[in-house]
């Protein structure tokens, strides 16, 4: 008997896995199980246009795979899985019943990290932003708020800060290191900091929260470790996310900052794959876990191809984006271990790009209101091609021309 593929997690990674299995000609049963009641939806707009009410929930949906793929995918929403029996190749449901599988895909994602209870002191009005329910709760709270405290200067924290500032709230961002320490260069962070300051946001870096004070069980202020008191009737904890690995760990599947997988998404258990935010994969001699739509979709496509007996696609360079005020930041590659950077300004002066090198090899590009540079950089990095630094530094030559020369040399 063919049991088919069971996918746990109905977010971007799980939804994409199901759709690409069908696109690859896989005709065995597919069951997609989601813990949330909502049909699969996009998360990135939650911290941007959805909170601004520029779009409604109907614009978030990825749609139910049922009816869009033949044979249809069985979508089960609002259902939590209790465990995995690797030996029997079965998923254990909350009521104790089991669902057998030939292949299992873990697309369990990540959950927002929350403040410890010792800091919260039992007050209400402290939020996180990860799910549609989180966004809806936060939207309602913003309607009543006057002063907002954002803890964490990463993408979520800063995107929310820009929304709150645009809605006329007084906003303070507190970051223990510098803004966007883990994800962007200092030069890009400087530009975004200036945008927040220009829009009236107070930015406090190198500071930490000591506790939250309340009045009538509602948050009233945050107190920092240096004694600074910040009035706030709404707090967002944008302090990162933790991979959802409990099901895998309880089943004896290898876990290390995510579920450990190979290039095809295979875990340490037979016929079990992991994709998206919950997965930790090999990268340039080390291991990496990425929280991005691009990575979720790539890993889903690779796992689906392998399950369906097709050739998996080559891994592209990782890329990300963030919208804050009128600035769109687009990043391709990872800047962490670069040792040189070249800045180029757009012809109209409205944007710029930062080209990061390690030695003579291009490793990443950050584009701020410069989509052309971003698209060109993706082509180059996907092919492992690096324009010469001294050519790139000459702004009299267009990036497109430099890329064409580099691509021509690589194919000649």
Strand arrangement of the beta sheet that strand 279-283 belongs to? 259-260, 279-283, 286-288
- With a pLDDT cut of 70, the percent of the chain lying above it is 98
pLDDT tens figures, 345-373: 998 889 999 999 999 999 999 999 999 99
Residues facing residue 272 across a β-bridge: 104
Residues in the chain: 412
Rounded CA-CA distance 412/408 in Å is: 6
3-state secondary structure of 147: strand
pLDDT tens figures, 199-217: 999 999 999 999 999 999 9
Rounded CA-CA distance 253/134 in Å is: 30
Query: Mean pLDDT, to the nearest integer, of 39-54?
Result: 94
**C-beta separation of 308 from 21 below 8 A:** yes
The yes-or-no verdict on residue 148 having pLDDT over 70 is yes
Rounded CA-CA distance 107/275 in Å is: 5
Token pair of 237 as six digits: 């904890």
For strands 234-237 and 319-324, give the pairing: unpaired
Token pair of 253 as six digits: 């599947």
The total of other beta-carbon atoms located within 10 Å of residue 229's CB is 12
Token pair of 97 as six digits: 């019943």
Least confident of 237-251, 295-309, 396-410: 396-410
The yes-or-no verdict on residue 412 having pLDDT over 60 is no
DSSP annotation of 39 reads P
pTM of the model: 0.94
Rounded CA-CA distance 390/17 in Å is: 43
Residue 160 pLDDT grade (very low, low, confident, very high; cuts 50, 70, 90): very high
**C-beta separation of 124 from 217 below 8 A:** yes
Rounded CA-CA distance 39/61 in Å is: 7
Closest alpha carbon to 307 in 1, 18, 12, 11: 18
Q: Which residue reads 């592209």 in tokens?
A: 316
């Amino acid at each position: 008997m063919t049991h088919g593929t069971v996918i746990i997690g109905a977010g971007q990674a799980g939804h994409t896995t199901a759709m690409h299995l069908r696109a690859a000609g896989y005709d065995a049963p597919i069951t997609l199980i989601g813990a949330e009641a909502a049909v699969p939806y996009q998360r990135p707009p939650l911290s941007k246009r959805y909170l601004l009410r520029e779009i409604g929930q109907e614009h978030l949906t990825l749609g139910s795979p049922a009816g869009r793929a033949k044979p249809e995918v069985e979508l089960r929403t609002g259902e939590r899985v209790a465990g995995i029996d690797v030996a029997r190749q079965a998923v254990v449901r909350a009521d104790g019943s089991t669902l057998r599988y030939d292949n299992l895909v873990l697309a369990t994602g990540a959950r927002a990290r929350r403040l410890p209870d010792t800091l919260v002191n039992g007050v209400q009005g402290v939020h996180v932003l990860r799910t549609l329910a989180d966004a809806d709760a936060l939207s309602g709270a913003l309607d009543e708020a006057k002063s907002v405290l954002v803890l964490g200067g990463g993408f979520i924290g800063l995107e929310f800060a820009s929304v709150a500032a645009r809605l006329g709230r007084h906003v303070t961002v507190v970051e223990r290191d510098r803004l966007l320490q883990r994800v962007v260069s200092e030069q890009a962070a400087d530009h975004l900091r200036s945008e927040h300051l220009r829009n009236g946001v107070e930015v406090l870096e190198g500071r930490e929260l000591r506790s939250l004070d309340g009045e009538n069980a509602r948050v009233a202020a945050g107190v920092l470790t240096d004694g600074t008191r910040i009035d706030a009737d709404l707090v967002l904890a944008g302090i990162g996310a933790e991979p959802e690995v409990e099901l895998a760990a309880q089943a004896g599947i290898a876990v290390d900052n995510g579920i450990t997988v190979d290039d095809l998404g295979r875990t340490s258990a037979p016929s079990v794959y992991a994709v998206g935010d919950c997965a930790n994969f090999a990268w340039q001699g080390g291991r990496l876990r990425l929280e991005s739509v691009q990575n979720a979709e790539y890993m889903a496509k690779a796992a689906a191809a392998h399950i369906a007996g097709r050739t998996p696609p080559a891994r592209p360079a990782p890329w990300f984006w963030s919208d804050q005020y009128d600035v769109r930041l687009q990043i391709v590659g990872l800047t962490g271990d670069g040792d040189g950077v070249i800045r180029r300004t757009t012809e109209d002066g409205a944007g710029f790009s930062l080209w990061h090198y390690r030695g003579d090899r291009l490793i990443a590009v950050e584009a701020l209101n410069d989509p052309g540079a971003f698209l060109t950089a993706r082509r180059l990095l996907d092919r492992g091609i690096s324009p010469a630094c001294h050519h790139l530094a000459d702004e009299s030559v267009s990036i497109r021309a430099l890329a064409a020369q580099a691509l021509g040399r690589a194919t000649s």
